[in-house]
Amino acid sequence: MNDSTNRRKVPPLRIGDLVIDPPILQAPMAGFTNAAFRHIVREFGGAGLLATEMVNARGFVWLDENEAEHPDRLWGVADEPRPLAVQIWDNDPETMAKVGRRLAEEYRVSVVDINFGCPVRQVTEKAHSGSYLLREPNRMHAIISRLVEVCAPTPVTAKIRLGCNRDNINCNEIAHVVEEAGAAALTVHGRTAADMFRGNADWDRISEIKSHLRNIPLIGNGDLDSAEKVVAAFEQYDVDAVMIARACLGRPWLFAQAAAALRGDPVPPEPTLAEQRDVMLKHYGLVVDRFGEEKGTVLMRKYACCYAQGKHGARYFRTHVAKVSTPEEFHSVVEEYFPLRDPKEEVESATAS
Ligand SMILES: Cc1cc2nc3c(=O)[nH]c(=O)nc-3n(C[C@H](O)[C@H](O)[C@H](O)COP(=O)(O)O)c2cc1C
C-alpha cells in the first residue's frame, strides 16, 4: 500500500459507451441493495456503478398484464442518479426482452444485467434460471442476443459463476458465448453454483477468462473486503474492474476507501463506531420512509446486524435487534447495545494508564 507512487493508474471501465470510473462496482444483492442502501453507498462515493437486487422478469410481466404496480425491487430506479444497473432473471428470451426493453426505454437505466449466477433452488431447480443456465449455453446466447437487440443502445451485461459445480467448470466456454451474443461486459463470481459461498473465490480462474474474451471487459468478484484486496486484485489478476458484495453491506464506505487506494491516495480511516451507528440510523430513516414503521423496522433488522458485524459485542446487539418491531424498540436497542466500544481503544487506554 505504501509504494503508491509506482502504481500504474487503473483505467476506467468501459461498458459499451458508458465510462465507469472508478472501476469498482457494487454488486446486486437480493434483499439488500434497494434504493435506501444505494443512497447510502452513493453518499460515501467510490462505487463507479451501482446495481439493484435481481428482478424476476416473469413477475414483472405478470404485474404489468394485471395492471398492478411495478416490482417493489424497482423502487427508486426511475429517479435516482446514474449510472445504475438493473439486474433481471428468467430463462425465456421473449420475457426477458419485454422487460429489458422497458428498462432501457422507459426507465432509462444505464445497464441491463442478466443473472446467470444465482444458485438458490427456487431460481435454479424450480425456474431453470440463474446458474442453471450455465449448462445451457445456447439458451444463454438466445437470451443475451435478444436483449442486446431490444435494449440497444443501452448495454447488456452478464453475471456468471465459474460453472454449475467443480466437475463442470465451463466459464471459459461461457465467456465466448456471452461475448459472441453481444454482451458489453462479463462479471464472474469466482465460485461454482454448488459452492454457494463455501471456500475461497478462485481468482486464478477468473483471471484466466480474460484470454477468452476479445473485446469486452472482465469484472472480477469474490471475497474483496478491504481496499488492500481491491488493489491486489488489479495488480495480480487480469481484470478490468472489480465488484464488491457482502463486505459493503455493513461498510458502505468501503468503496471510497478502495477508490482512494486505487488512486494511490491515503485510505480514509474506518468511521468511528459512533459515526457508523449514525450511518445505520440514517439508513433506518430511509427504510422507514419507504416501508413504514412496522415493515421498515423488521426489514432493518438484517441491515443492523451487518453494521454491527465483527465488532466487540455484536452478538448481544444481534440477539436484541433481531426481535425489534417498533421504532421505539429499535432506538432503545441501538442505544443500549450497538457496539460503541472498540476493544483496541480499551487496550490502548489501559496501557496508557
Ligand atoms: C444476500 C445476498 C444476495 C445476493 N443476491 C444476488 C443477486 O440478486 N444477483 C446476483 O447476481 N448476485 C447476488 N449475490 C451474489 C453477489 O452479488 C456476489 O456475487 C457474491 O456475494 C460474491 O461476492 P462477495 O464475496 O464480495 O460477497 C448475492 C449475495 C448475497 C450474499
The string of pLDDT tens digits covering residues 322-337 is 999 999 999 999 999 9
118 carries an active-site annotation: yes
- How large a percentage of the chain has pLDDT more than 70? 94
Q: pLDDT by residue (tens digit) across 2-38?
A: 444 455 689 999 999 999 999 999 999 999 999 999 9
Cell numbers that stand for 278 in this block: 449514525
DSSP assignment of 100-164:
HHHHHHTS--SEEEEEE----HHHHTTTS-GGGGGG-HHHHHHHHHHHHHHHTTS-EEEEEESBS
Mean pLDDT of 31-54: 98
In this structure, CATH architecture of domain 273-344: Orthogonal Bundle (1.10)
Q: Could you give the maximum distance between any two Cα atoms of the chain, in Å?
A: 70
Distance CA 307, CA 271 (A): 12
- Which residue, by CA, sits nearest to atom 19 of ligand 1? 189
**The model scores a pTM over 0.75:** yes
Contact 258, 24 (CB under 8 A): yes
Q: Cell for 42?
A: 452513493
* Pairwise pLDDT comparison (335 vs 350), residue with the higher score: 335
Residue 8: the pLDDT is 61
Pocket probe for ligand 1: among 90, 246, 249, 306, the residue whose CB has the most ligand atoms within 8 Å is 246
End-to-end Cα distance, the chain: 33
Ligand 1 atom closest to residue 225's alpha carbon, by position in its atom list: 26
Share of the chain above pLDDT 90, in %: 92
| Domain assignments of the chain as residue spans, ordered by start | 4-263, 273-344
Q: Is 313 exposed, middle or buried (0-12, 13-18, 19+ CB in 10 A)?
A: middle
3-state secondary structure (DSSP) of residue 208: helix
Give the per-residue pLDDT at 341.
80
Q: What is the pLDDT of residues 86-122, one digit of tens each?
A: 999 999 999 999 999 999 999 999 999 999 999 999 9
| Residue whose CA lies nearest to ligand 1 atom number 29 | 29
Average pLDDT over the chain, rounded to an integer: 95
pLDDT digits (tens, 9 = 90+) for 146-169: 999 999 999 999 999 999 999 999
User: Residues with Cβ within 6 A of ligand 1?
Assistant: 27-32, 53-54, 87, 115, 117-118, 159, 189, 221-224, 244-247
What phi and psi values does residue 64 have, to the nearest 5 degrees? -65, -45
Give mean pLDDT, residues 184-188.
Answer: 99
Q: What CATH number is given for 4-263 in this structure?
A: 3.20.20.70
SS3 (DSSP) at 15: strand
Return the pLDDT at 353: 44
